Amino acid sequence: MKRLFPLLALWITSCGEVKTGGFETSDLQARVHRKDGSPVASARVWLVRSRGDSAPAMALDSSWTDASGLANFPVPADGPMGLGLDVQREDSLGMAPLAFGSTSRASVLLSPSHDLSIPADSNGAPRCFVPGSHFASRSQSEGSGAVISLPQGTWDLAIARGAAAPMVTPFVVTKDSVVVVRPPVSDTDTGFREPFFPEGPNISMDSFQVQGRRYAVDRSFLPGWIVRKDTFSNSSFRQGSGSSSSSDSAFLTSGPARIPAFPDTINGQILTVLESARLPETGFIAMRFLFSQPLPADSGRYLHFELNDELGSGAFLNLNPRMRTISDSFQIQPRGSFLDSAQGMQTPEQKLSSQIWYFFWTPGIVEVRNSEGFVGVLRSSQDMAGRPTLKVTLGAFVPTPSSQVNLVSTRLYLPR
pLDDT digits (tens, 9 = 90+) for 63-102: 999 999 999 999 998 888 889 999 999 989 999 998 887 7
At residue 69, φ and ψ (nearest 5 deg) are 75, 20
pTM (whole model) above 0.75? no
Domain 4-111 classification at class level: mainly beta
Collect all residues with Cβ–Cβ distance below 8 Å to 177 and sequence separation of at least 6.
Answer: 204, 205, 206, 207
| 184: pLDDT strictly greater than 50 | no
Instruction: Provide, rounded to the nearest whole percent, the portion of the chain with pLDDT above 70.
Output: 74
- Average pLDDT rounded to a whole number, residues 122-145: 86
407 contacts 251 by C-beta, under 8 angstroms: yes
CATH no., domain 226-415: 2.60.120.560
Beta-bridge partners for 390: 307
Instruction: Provide the pLDDT for residue 4.
Output: 38
Answer with the residue of higher pLDDT: 64 or 262.
Answer: 64
Answer with the residue of higher pLDDT: 289 or 101.
Answer: 289
Per the prediction, the chain carries an average pLDDT of: 78
| 137: pLDDT strictly greater than 80 | yes
346-350 — which CB contacts under 8 Å span 24+ positions? Answer: 346/370, 346/372, 346/373, 346/374, 346/375, 348/321, 348/324, 349/296, 349/324
Answer with the residue of higher pLDDT: 200 or 236.
Answer: 200
336: pLDDT confidence band, cut at 50, 70 and 90?
A: very high
| 194: pLDDT strictly greater than 60 | no
- Average pLDDT rounded to a whole number, residues 279-298: 81
178-184 — which CB contacts under 8 Å span 24+ positions? Answer: 178/114, 178/116, 178/150, 178/205, 179/206, 181/154
48: pLDDT confidence band, cut at 50, 70 and 90?
A: very high
106 contacts 99 by C-beta, under 8 angstroms: yes
Instruction: Provide the pLDDT for residue 298.
Output: 56
The count of residues in the chain is 416
Cα angle 214, 220, 222; round to 5 = 105
| 295: pLDDT strictly greater than 80 | no
Instruction: Delimit the domains of the chain by residue range.
Output: 4-111, 226-415
Which of 393, 361, 398, 395 lies closest to 378 in space, CA to CA? 361
- Average pLDDT rounded to a whole number, residues 115-139: 87
* Highest mean pLDDT pick, 111-120, 205-214, 331-340: 331-340
26: pLDDT confidence band, cut at 50, 70 and 90?
A: low
- Report the 10 Å Cβ neighbour count for 92: 19
| 258: pLDDT strictly greater than 60 | no
Half-sphere exposure of 318 (CA within 13 A, CB side): 14
Instruction: Provide the pLDDT for residue 175.
Output: 65
Answer with the residue of higher pLDDT: 176 or 129.
Answer: 129
* Highest mean pLDDT pick, 24-38, 250-264, 322-336, 353-367: 353-367
Distance separating alpha carbons of residues 151 and 108, to the nearest angstrom: 11
Residue type, 2: K
- 3-state DSSP call for residue 163? coil
